[in-house]
Each structure stands twice: as structure tokens, then as C-alpha cells.
A and B are shown apart, each in its own frame.
Chain A
Amino acid sequence: MIWQLDLVILTFVIFCGIGAITIKDLLGAAILFGAYSFMMSLLWAIMGAVDVSFTEASVGAGVSSILFVAAVFRTTRRTKD
């Protein structure tokens, strides 16, 4: 497809992935996981796999992010290491 769009989204995916594991604020890491999931959903939609893209959008943005936020709510907000 449009290779420039692919390259930009892939760069975002790499930055979201690296950011989600190095950031110290766990709520920010949960939001970065949500952003990573959204970028993967876009990539799969570009590749033509719309069922997979729909599943990733609904699970990543809907349920997985809120489960992470619920886990952060019950434990600490700042990572211990």
C-alpha cells in the first residue's frame, strides 16, 4: 500500500513499545499499551485483515486498557524498579 503511511505507523509502534516498558508512571504505561494496540489495529486494517483489526480495536481500546487501569488503581501508581 502507501509505504510512507506504513513507515510512520511502524515507527509509532516501535516508540510506543519502547516507551511502555521504560516509563516509570504505570498509568502512562497503560495508556501507551492502548496506543500500541490502536497502531497495530491500523496496521492490520492496511494489510486488509479487517476482522483481526476489529478484534484488536475492541479488545485493546475497550477492555484491555480498562483492565490495566483497574490493576494500577489497586496497586501502586509508580513502578518499584
Chain B
Amino acid sequence: MAFPGWGDPLSPASTHVSPYYIENTIEDTSVPNIVTAVLADYRGYDTMFETAVIFSAGIACLFLLRRMKRKKTDFRHYRHMATGITLRIEQGGKIHPTAKEFERIDGLWVPHDLIIRTTGRFIIPFIQIFALYVIAHGHYSPGGGFQGGVILGASFILFAISNDLRSALNRMGERLTAFFYTAGVSLYAGTGALCILLGANFLDYSALATILLVDPVTARSYGILIVEIGVGIAVMAVMVILYYNLVSAGKFDEGL
């Protein structure tokens, strides 16, 4: 067989491909993290399709699970706040949400505790700031767009778990999440298209030097930052929409 040996340091991949990236990343792109530079610049086409795959996974979950109509076997629970009486309304009926005397309670889950809500309120801003740090610092440390996007999505899921699903839907509803995951993929593909409009190849970020008014090497670094932000936004929104669809079985009203 003509394959190189396992972990052979003299194989063609280790003598031609890896040394090129290790030696030339700093002077081509001025990004110290070689993994991020390879992912987002040298092999940026693959990362764009990877983001499109994540987007289509969110869309597929939406297609499989989302249910808009109310069936005859659905029931809802309401509590009259003044007296504490709990109503159960069968056969798909409901009380209009502007009726202030009744609040809707979940049928399958216990009321949310004050300790869990307060702890979530303390921790969630720090998780979000850490996630934004991971996205922005992907040039120098391990991390980048995908990891920061997952952590940011996990912070929204934590908010939905510690409070109600309905209060999470008030803050980050279905349409806003749909806007975010489309905007993330469009940001990535749009940066590539902008490079074509400025005269270079697709996803060749040195063409952005004329718009951003820097030299081509720094323009590649900024291009990597822009596409990482696009990936982060798309991943965050897909994690949130996956959780919303799974935990409420498509109806978006009750949940964990």
C-alpha cells in the first residue's frame, strides 16, 4: 500500500500543508490563532456551508415539530389570582391573554422557585458577557464564533428554564429568533459576495481593504471577525429555536 504511516512526520500533509499554515498565517492575516485563521479564512467556504447546515437543522426541527392549530384534546390551566382557584379549560378553549385576573400556569411542571429565578438572574449576564468575549477573542485564544454562539444560546435556555417558557418567549420570540438565524448566515455569505463586488474572489477578505480603509493584511483579520460574528449569531438563534421546539412539543406555550 502506498499510504503514509500513522502519524508519520514525513507524510506530504505534514511537510507541505501544515508548515505553510504555521509559517504564513501571521504575515498573511495577522491572526495568532492558526485554527481560527484556517477555519474562517483559508477554508472559509467550508465554514460557510457548515453554518448553512446548522441553519437547516434548525429549520428541519421547526418543520417536524411546530404545530400551530389547537386540537380538541388540548387543555390549559389557569389560576384566578385573587382567590387561588385553578381552572382547567378543556377542548382547546382559552381565556384571552388580556384578562388580568387569570394567569396561566403550566400543567406538567411545578411553580418556579424564587431561589432558582434569582440565581439565574445573577448568573445569566455573566454567561452572556463571557460568550461575547469568546466570540471577540477568537483571534488570540481558543474559541471563536461557534463556541461563543453555543454559550450565548445556552444562556437564553437557562433563562427559559429558570423562569417560564412564556417569559422567555416574550423576550426572544419566534420571529426575532428567525431573524437572527437568517441574519447570521446572510452576514457570512454577504461578506463573501461583498468581496466579489469589490473585485476579488469569493470570500477573499483582502478586497475589503478599500472599504475598511486599512491594509490588506488587517482587512483579512477584520473579515475573519465579521464572519465569526455571523456564525455566532446564527448558532445562538438555532440553539434557542431547537430548545423552544423540543420542550413545548411545537406549541410554544408550556415547557420545562
Complex Cα spacing A51 to B243, Å = 25
Q: Tally the A-B contacts, defined by beta carbons under 8 Å.
A: 49
Min CB distance, B12 to chain A, in Å? 21
Contact B247 A63, beta carbon cutoff 8 Å: no
Taken residue by residue from 240 to 251, chain B's Cβ proximity to chain A (1 for < 8 Å, 0 otherwise) reads as 001100110100
Residue of B151, B242, B247, B249 near A58 (CB, 8 A) is: B151
Interface of chain B residues 75 through 105 with chain A (CB within 8 A): none
Taken residue by residue from 39 to 76, chain A's Cβ proximity to chain B (1 for < 8 Å, 0 otherwise) reads as 00000000000110111001100110011011101100
B35 contacts across to A, CB distance below 8 A: 51
A50 contacts across to B, CB distance below 8 A: 142
- Contact A70-B151, Cβ < 8 Å, known A51-B144, A55-B146, A63-B239: no
- Contact A55-B147, Cβ < 8 Å, known A62-B154, A63-B154: yes
Contact B151 A73, beta carbon cutoff 8 Å: no
Question: B residues bordering A, Cβ < 8 Å?
Answer: 35-36, 108, 142-144, 146-147, 150-151, 153-154, 157, 161, 239, 242-243, 246-247, 249, 255-256
Please name 22 pairs of A and B residues whose Cβ atoms are closer than 8 Å in the assembled complex, sorted by A. A50-B142, A51-B143, A51-B144, A51-B147, A53-B142, A58-B150, A58-B154, A59-B150, A62-B150, A63-B153, A63-B243, A66-B154, A66-B157, A66-B243, A67-B242, A69-B256, A70-B243, A70-B247, A70-B255, A70-B256, A71-B246, A73-B247
Question: A residues bordering B, Cβ < 8 Å?
Answer: 50-51, 53-55, 58-59, 62-63, 66-67, 69-71, 73-74
